[in-house]
Amino acid sequence: MSNINEDYIEDYIREVIKESSVFLKKLEEYAHKNHIPIIHPEVAQFLKVLIKIKKPKEILEIGTAIGYSAIVMAEAMDSYGKITTIERREDMINLAQSNFTECNLIERINVIHGDANEVLPKLQGSFDLIFLDAAKSKYMDFLPYFINNLTSGGVIISDNVLYKGMIANDDLVVRRQKTIVRRMREYLDYICNNEIFESSIIPIGDGVALTYKRED
């Protein structure tokens, strides 16, 4: 039970969406066995469809881990599309790079090693789509940099925004997660209530926010 959706809804969605490729299945098994969190299948499918519609040329991802979501996104993009992904753990970067090489995506995915707090202020370039899947308490800190780096009409997809239901219900909040909950609520309140963005919160996976940056 994810506290976001009834199990039968989640099970049905997972049953009905297309099966992952053999390579992605191998990564799913590796992640499961090694307790590495990766995007849920219904979130992967959501990303794929959104990328097909939006056709981004440049994607920025925060939180690479083993490269699973970067591969999902790169495969959904047109063949010239590029991804920049930021990860602070060297062991994860090594695994991700070897996965990108194995599926011939190494030329299209640039991994930046470092803490996003330090990388983002120096990051050059503009992105049509930003996928945020890193430390949940930091989403609000990253946002000012996204405002600069995101093109007008660009989108931000933020994962885990309902965090096991805790964001929506105080009764579910675990004491040591109180700061994360408070900061995530601030983040959601900001992206939902300001002049720059238009946001929708979608109860799939662990909760996804889809944010559109209004055109100038």
Residue ranges binding ligand SAM (CB under 6 A)? 37-39, 63, 65, 68-69, 86-89, 92, 115-117, 133-135, 138
Q: Which two tokens stand for residue 126?
A: 């503009």
Within 13 Å, how many C-alpha atoms sit on residue 3's CB side?
15
Tell me the closest approach of the beta carbon of residue 28 to ligand SAM, in angstroms. Answer: 10
Place of tokens 């040591």: 176
Tell me how far apart the alpha carbons of residues 70 and 81 are, in angstroms, rounded to a whole number. Answer: 12
Q: Which two tokens stand for residue 111?
A: 């991994």
Tell me the closest approach of the beta carbon of residue 67 to ligand SAM, in angstroms. Answer: 6
Output 38 or 168, the one with its CB closest to ligand SAM. Answer: 38
Output 142 or 197, the one with its CB closest to ligand SAM. Answer: 142
Tell me the closest approach of the beta carbon of residue 214 to ligand SAM, in angstroms. Answer: 26
Output 138 or 164, the one with its CB closest to ligand SAM. Answer: 138
Tell me the closest approach of the beta carbon of residue 29 to ligand SAM, in angstroms. Answer: 13
Residue nearest to ligand SAM (CB): 63
Q: Which two tokens stand for residue 85?
A: 């992904």
127 forms bridges with which residues in the sheet?
Answer: 150
Output 37 or 203, the one with its CB closest to ligand SAM. Answer: 37
Is-contact 41 203, C-beta < 8 A? no
Q: How many of the other CB atoms lie within 10 Å of CB of 74?
A: 22
Tell me how far apart the alpha carbons of residues 125 and 77 are, in angstroms, rounded to a whole number. Answer: 18
Tell me the closest approach of the beta carbon of residue 186 to ligand SAM, in angstroms. Answer: 17
